[in-house]
Amino acid sequence: MNNLIEIRWHGRGGQGAKTASLLLADAAFNTGKYIQGFPEYGPERMGAPITAYNRISNEPITIHSNIYEPDYVVVVDDTLLESVPVTAGLKKDGAIIINTTKDSNYLRDVLKDYTGSIYSIDARKISMETLGQYFPNTPMLAAVVKVSQIMSEQDFLNDMIGSFKHKFAKKPEVIEGNMKALEMALKEVKKV
Amino acid sequence: MGIRERLSGNEAAAIAMKQINPDVVAAFPITPSTEIPQYFSSFVSNGTVDTEFVAVESEHSAMSACIGAEAAGARAMTATSSNGLSLMWEMIYIASSCRLPIVMSLVNRAVSGPLNIHNDHSDAMGVRDSGWIQLFSENNQEAYDNLLMAHRIAEHKDVLLPLMVCQDGFITSHSIENIELVEDEKVKEFVGTYHPEHYLLNLKEQIAVGPLDLQSYLFEHKRQQAEAMRNAKNVILEVSKDFEKMTGRKYEFFEKYKMEDSDIVIVCMNSTAGTAKYTANLLREKGIKAGVLKIRVFRPFPAKEIANALANQKAIAVLDKADSINAAGGALFEDITSAMFVNGIQVPTVNYIYGIGGRDTTSAELESVYNDLEKIKNIGKVTNPYRYLGVRGEF
């Protein structure tokens, strides 16, 4: 049970947090893990706060509830920091990974009592440079893999090529850009 | 060896249906089971199955079409949830009384109102006395496995009753998890071809289906239905044994988890059983002998077997994910306490209504139930048997 890693995603409807959680589950599955990937369904609409979850383990996972004490939190949209208690229950030795350009003073301040690790990444810049559009979930996926070390970077990239080929079978022109986004994100996510 | 995959519960159900390749599927979409007919209709469009897919205009028609198809001699399936099942209500009873072994994938959701799309078991509990076999599934794997066994059970000549496979809406239907699939050819061989003894399209034998049945015969026909439900017990065990031979996965009426030495036990169905197992393991690290009895077969109700399985416990909590709103207990609690009483088993037993309308049920809450059971164990009796778990308000 000790090897169970729990991740909570915070995003806004339409940003792909749910898809990212499913892609992470896929990637971990392909490295031989037991996985869960599930969103918390509410009154969903574009722009509304949404939550998605991952459990990843070397052993079968039987628990079926939301995650209240995650090892990692991923924030896909930094406007949520002031309105959603994103660090609620986050383990002290865990980490929060935020898509933001804000400085460390702002982040420490807005996260109030949270004293654990903070990682930031400019997923907008990466997405615009590699895909020409704002899809923050692809860089955030790479960022959480890097920080949590769920799998090796090489295993992750090898696996994601396969996933993108499957997911984008009808528009193969976007595969290269998505792979570049992952590679850039692995390099650019940094500890605040 | 099976095929290692990762699928949502809905995907698992749709793939089971693809491998079964029934003659007819008639369905109307409703959250959270919508994806099942959605995925299945793509299998039809792609030619992966040769099923006649009937896109009906309501669930009442979906069940009516299944009844027509089965009566004609075809193998028919459907999927629904919540108010979809409510709209089928009239035809649910017609299906079972005509002894038509239709198979349904029921993705459990609260029945309105107030309007809610999330999980509880009020839909399944509403048809518990309708003459359908009801199998419950902890996760995607069990939803899949139960569907592969469904036709063998329902179509058995000693049974001939419709069957529904339940799983928890969203909690398992929309969660991607590991699963082991059975190879297509093996499923085909296991499920077999449907050869009904009596059917409308048999030119050599003229029959009537569903005629008027008044004082002189209806009672006998109902008695036969009841006997068929009793027969289903043995058939379920036989089919489950065959399934275990094929897959190595063992299924019985219920799963006894860590009950070899347990003295307190939670009884529940579907996904909560998984959280209860997780919680029981946490408590065992503290020396508390916690167990879980997960009901798989709710109809037919294996009364004697459940009573015997619970005989050596010191305290029992029965968790109902539907409130019977009867000024007494939930449906599972009443069935279990009745089974214990009739079989002379006296163990303090308490009921919790929980998880209504998708209220998340946490490991911490189940731990509080086990803590309550420890107290009951020490006192040796229950003063307030009808309780609620995870609801606000003082009563």
Query: Are B363 and A41 in contact (CB < 8 Å)?
Result: no
Query: Are B174 and A38 in contact (CB < 8 Å)?
Result: yes
CA distances from A4 to A39, A60, B12 (A): 18, 10, 24
Q: What are residue B22's DSSP bridge partners?
A: none
Of the pLDDT bands very low, low, confident and very high (cuts 50, 70, 90), residue A1 is very low
Q: Which residue among A26, A39, A63 places its CB closest to the CB of B6?
A: A26
Residues of chain B in Cβ contact (below 8 Å) with chain A: 6, 117-118, 138-139, 168, 170-172, 174-178, 271-272, 274-275, 277-278, 281, 360-364
- Measured between beta carbons, the chain B residues lying within 8 angstroms of A38 are 170-171, 174-176
Residue B240, pLDDT score: 98
Residue to test with chain A: of B142, B178, B354, most A Cβ within 10 A: B178
Q: How far apart are CA B289 and CA B258, in angstroms?
A: 8
Query: Are A29 and B6 in contact (CB < 8 Å)?
Result: yes
Burial class (CB in 10 A: 0-12, 13-18, 19+), B93: middle
CA distance B203 to chain A (A): 49
Q: How far apart are CA B106 and CA B109, in angstroms?
A: 9
Of the pLDDT bands very low, low, confident and very high (cuts 50, 70, 90), residue A16 is confident
* A2 touches B: beta carbon within 8 Å: no
- Measured between beta carbons, the chain B residues lying within 8 angstroms of A37 are 175-176
Domain spans of chain B, in order of start: 3-247, 254-389
List of residues 6+ apart from A65 with CB closer than 8 A? B275, B360, B361, B362, B363
Which residue is it, tokens 């408590």? B283
CA distances from A53 to A78, A191, B64 (A): 18, 23, 39
CA distance A63 to chain B (A): 4
Query: Are B274 and A62 in contact (CB < 8 Å)?
Result: yes
CA distance A109 to chain B (A): 31
pLDDT tens digits, B214-224? 999 999 999 99
Query: Are B176 and A1 in contact (CB < 8 Å)?
Result: no
- CATH class as words, domain B254-389: alpha beta
Average pLDDT along chain A: 94
Structure tokens at B248: 């190595």
Q: What is the CA radius of gyration of chain B?
A: 21
Structure tokens at B182: 């059975």
Of the pLDDT bands very low, low, confident and very high (cuts 50, 70, 90), residue A89 is very high
CA distance B256 to chain A (A): 15
Query: Same CATH topology for B3-247 and B254-389?
Result: yes
Q: Do residues B139 and B177 touch, judged by C-beta distance below 8 A?
A: yes
Helix ranges restricted to H, chain A = 17-30, 104-110, 123-131, 137-148, 153-167, 175-188
CA distance B6 to chain A (A): 7
DSSP code of residue B156: S
Interchain CB contacts (distance < 8 Å): A and B? 60
Q: How far apart are CA B393 and CA B395, in angstroms?
A: 7
Q: Do residues B118 and B170 touch, judged by C-beta distance below 8 A?
A: yes
Which of the four CATH numbers 3.40.50.300, 3.40.50.970, 3.40.50.150, 3.20.20.70 does domain B3-247 have? 3.40.50.970
Residue A163, pLDDT score: 87
Structure tokens at B135: 């199998």
- Measured between beta carbons, the chain A residues lying within 8 angstroms of B359 are none
Report, as ranges of residue numbers, the positions in chain B whose pLDDT lies below 50: none
Question: Which domains are delineated in chain A?
Answer: 5-191 (3.40.920.10)
CA distances from B342 to A165, B99, B119 (A): 61, 29, 32
Residue B289, pLDDT score: 98
Query: Are B175 and A35 in contact (CB < 8 Å)?
Result: no
Q: Do residues B71 and B100 touch, judged by C-beta distance below 8 A?
A: yes
> What does the pLDDT average to over A60-80?
97
Best CA proximity match to A26, nearest among B202, B11, B239: B11
Residue B139, pLDDT score: 98
Residue to test with chain B: of A8, A36, A40, A64, most B Cβ within 10 A: A64
Query: Are A64 and B277 in contact (CB < 8 Å)?
Result: no
* A66 touches B: beta carbon within 8 Å: yes
Residue B92, pLDDT score: 98
Query: Are B275 and A64 in contact (CB < 8 Å)?
Result: yes
- Measured between beta carbons, the chain A residues lying within 8 angstroms of B174 are 38-39, 41
Query: Are B363 and A66 in contact (CB < 8 Å)?
Result: no
Query: Are A68 and B361 in contact (CB < 8 Å)?
Result: no
Q: Are strands B264-268 and B349-354 parallel, antiparallel or unpaired?
A: unpaired
* A64 touches B: beta carbon within 8 Å: yes
- Measured between beta carbons, the chain A residues lying within 8 angstroms of B33 are none
Residue to test with chain B: of A30, A53, A61, A65, most B Cβ within 10 A: A65
Residue A32, pLDDT score: 94
Q: Which residue among B6, B177, B361 places its CB closest to the CB of A65?
A: B361
The nearest alpha carbon in chain B to A65 belongs to B362
On the question of pLDDT at A2 being above 60, the answer is no
Structure tokens at A101: 């350009």
Q: How far apart are CA B337 and CA B347, in angstroms?
A: 9
Residue A44, pLDDT score: 65
DSSP code of residue B261: S
H/E stretch holding B293: strand B290-295
- Measured between beta carbons, the chain B residues lying within 8 angstroms of A44 are none
pLDDT tens digits, B311-350? 999 999 999 999 999 999 999 999 999 999 999 999 999 9
